[in-house]
Structure 1
Amino acid sequence: MFRKMKEDIKCIMEQDPAARSSFEVVLTYSGLHAVWSHQIAHVLYKKRLLFLARCVSQVSRFFTGIEIHPGAKIGRRFFIDHGMGIVIGETCEIGDDVTIYQGVTLGGTGKEKGKRHPTLHNNVLVASGAKVLGSITIGENSKVGAGSVVLKDVPSDSTVVGIPGTVVIRNGERIVGRHDHQDLPDPVKDRCDALDSELERLKARLEQIENSRVKEGDLL
């Protein structure tokens, strides 16, 4: 247990440039508090002490603003940066070295039974405000862009953005690390740029036609 706690602290020190010391991390990082509280709640959940597990979960939610259901399975070195407003559902499965940011929801899509929440494989990054919904899988080394809504499986080594989420990079050169989410492409902007270009082309064509008619009128 203590070895895993050291891993969690080291993970934050390596990934967060604002972390100045282990002492500061232990005392002030709500994401770390939420992860450690979940470990206790998950043990109680597996022992079928469901009420106690939920109590631990809710106390943690009150102090951290992060709601993790006791039934969720979370791997090693799970990094929650900031974290306010994060929701992780009961049947979520999260691999190792996963990072999620504030406002993320790993939730369900209705009242279905059984596995109803996402599975995140190793080295996944889910950026601020993203919603990953349903019993879907996010493959290894993939990224979910800020504000995206993902409803379908995402292959490994991919980047998904938009509403609904669309894979825009897969095994591409731009995937250089799981923390480069500030460089994610914007498919909405790309589409708007394409429409602007088409509009300019049509304006030029219309102007050309009007000029031709004026010249024909002058000749008559």
Structure 2
Amino acid sequence: MILEDLLTACRKDPALRGWSCAEAVLYPGLWALWSHRIAHLLHRWRVPLLPRALSQLTRLLTGIEIHPGAVIGRRCFIDHGMGVVIGETAVLGDDVMLYHGVTLGGTGWWHGRTTSRRHPLIGDRTVLGVGATVLGPVSVGHDTVIGAQSLVLHDVPAHSSVRASGDTTVHTPGRITRPSRFINEEKRQA
């Protein structure tokens, strides 16, 4: 999976071409993913303390916080990862792309203490823009684009595009605007 993650970074980051693709090994998003894969395995084996310690060390070194309980699919790419937070019961599908400042979190300790899922479920081939926030046990369908600074509090259907409300004084929920043309264009190019 390490090689697959490297190739994904080279494919999705336009700054990496040819020999410069070797620079991808320096990307904090890749180190955070690799560390998470180890921490998640230890978490599944119910090893005490070590998975959480590894995730906190990774947070210190990369600025990316991924709880060991989160499930992340294949070929995920975290670009400019500073400030990314992924909660314990979050599930990310395959080929998901996150930009810096993305939060996949819960709605508070007072909600969902007895439910099994408190964090978002993100479908395959979804893009989450800079500063996008998805909170609670919501589902975001596959082939969706969540625009920069969007706040998502409710389920989003597949093939959608969500954009920020435009109100800069208060972070209000984003609006589903149209089917996502970005994902469809990427499929045609592949």
Amino acid across the alignment from 1:77: R
> How far 1:22 moved relative to its partner?
4.1
Q: Judging changes above 3 Å, is the alpha-carbon distance between structure 1 residues 178 and 147 closer, same or farther for their aligned structure 2 residues?
A: farther
**Of 32, 36, 39, the match for 2:34:** 36
Query: TM-score, length-normalised on structure 1?
Result: 0.75
Q: Is the 8 A contact 2:145 2:182 kept in 1?
A: no
1:17 aligns with 2:26: no
> How far 1:165 moved relative to its partner?
1.7
Query: Where does structure 2 lack aligned partners over 5 or more consecutive residues?
Result: 165-171
Identity score, percent: 49
1:56 aligns with 2:54: yes
Q: Judging changes above 3 Å, is the alpha-carbon distance between structure 1 residues 18 and 97 closer, same or farther for their aligned structure 2 residues?
A: same
Distance 1:178 1:53 in 2: 37
* CA deviation vs aligned residue, 1:20-71 (integer Å, no higher than 9, x gap): 4343111x10000000000010011001113100010011001000000000
**SS of the residue 2:108 aligns to:** coil
Which range is displaced more, 65-74 or 5-14?
5-14
1:81 aligns with 2:90: no
Q: Is the 8 A contact 1:57 1:68 kept in 2?
A: yes
Greater relative CO (CA pairs within 8 A, separation 6+)? 2
Query: Where does structure 1 lack aligned partners over 5 or more consecutive residues?
Result: 181-220
Number of matched residues?
Answer: 173
Amino acid across the alignment from 2:22: F
Amino acid across the alignment from 2:34: W
RMSD: 1.5
Q: Is the 8 A contact 2:39 2:55 kept in 1?
A: yes
Q: Is the 8 A contact 2:125 2:183 kept in 1?
A: no
Query: TM-score, length-normalised on structure 2?
Result: 0.87
